[in-house]
Amino acid sequence: MFTGIVQATGKITAIHTSSATPESSLALTIDPGSLDLSDVNLGDSIAVDGVCLTVKSLANQLIHFDVSEETLRCTQGLNRVGKTINLEKALRLADRLGGHLVSGHIDAIGIVTQCAPAGESVILDIEVPSAIARFLTHKGSVTVDGVSLTINQIIDNTFSVNLIPHTLTVTTLGQLQLGSQVNLETDMLARYVARLLNI
């Protein structure tokens, strides 16, 4: 479980595929940047651009993960060497919940349809598949590439968020451009309510 409050940005430094099934899975090596690894152990969960991955090994200040075919199918960006990524260690029960409850299970890939300056902030519009649009609500929460954000507006299948200067500085969202793809996770409470009501 995570909060969507990014703790550091890192970089994908290497990708290895299996020669037997090169398209089905991969091994990922990440340079965690300033992320504190002193309390990270094998088997721990770390959100990488919002995707919950399990630590396979730690060596020379690098983190190694295995990424399954299913994860690759549902997400974007994990197969790009050199990509800068948002990182968050799993939530502890004593931690502050600064964002919202995030599982690290991506619902869909969204497409940036607008990046408009608004003073020192940026208004970001993201188009989502209709299947998940129903889980979005005005002033509700959404996770974009692992960052917890508040929805300002929804029009059809597009929602808008405001990226404040701090978010632009400490996450990768300031690098997004028109047409960029992003990993999206809707609010888990909305998903559970929809399931219970069978809607």
- Whichever domain contains 54, its CATH number is 2.40.30.20
Note down the domain range covering 148. Answer: 108-197
Number of domains in the chain: 2
- Specify whether 178 is located in the same domain as 117: yes
pLDDT tens profile 131-168: 999 999 999 999 999 999 999 999 999 999 999 999 99
What's the pLDDT at 134? Answer: 92
Is residue 3 predicted with pLDDT exceeding 70? yes
What's the pLDDT at 114? Answer: 97
What's the pLDDT at 198? Answer: 79
- Specify whether 56 is located in the same domain as 114: no
- The verdict on residue 100 lying in a domain is no
66-74, long-range: CB < 8 A, 24+ apart = 66/25, 66/26, 66/27, 66/28, 67/25, 67/26, 67/27, 67/28, 68/25, 69/23, 69/24, 69/25, 71/106, 72/25, 72/26, 74/106, 74/108, 74/109
pLDDT tens profile 17-63: 865 555 568 999 999 999 999 999 999 999 999 999 999 999 999 99
